[in-house]
Amino acid sequence: MIRTLSVNYARILDCSKDDGKTAVETASDEIVMGAARALCEFSLLVSQHNHSDLSLTALDDSLKRFYKKKGAFRDQKMSQSAKA
């Protein structure tokens, strides 16, 4: 999943395309990017060969941030289905 993250989020990263997004959608994009960032950090920390208390705390913290922000995916999907 980590390998495909950049492909999946390329549309959001491309800020030049506005596509007439509302303020709510823009905010939702930011939260989605936060979740993606947390996941990337988690993947980076987990792939380390050595761990300390500090790194494990950061690992838990990144996972918590992802779980906190994952609702944005749901909101985006629901708004897309409502539009359709």
Using CB under 8 A, list all residues that contact other proteins. 42, 46-51, 56, 59-60, 63, 67, 70, 73-74, 77-78
Q: Which is nearer to other proteins, 30 or 60 (CB)?
A: 60
In angstroms, the CA 29 to CA 51 distance is 32
Q: Which is nearer to other proteins, 21 or 51 (CB)?
A: 51
Can you read off the two tokens belonging to residue 80? Answer: 């897309």
Is 27 in a helix, a strand, or coil? helix
Q: Residue 58 CB, nearest distance to other proteins (Å)?
A: 10
Can you read off the two tokens belonging to residue 27? Answer: 């905010």
Q: Residue 16 CB, nearest distance to other proteins (Å)?
A: 29
In angstroms, the CA 48 to CA 80 distance is 38
Q: Which is nearer to other proteins, 30 or 67 (CB)?
A: 67
Q: Residue 20 CB, nearest distance to other proteins (Å)?
A: 25
Can you read off the two tokens belonging to residue 25? Answer: 């959608």
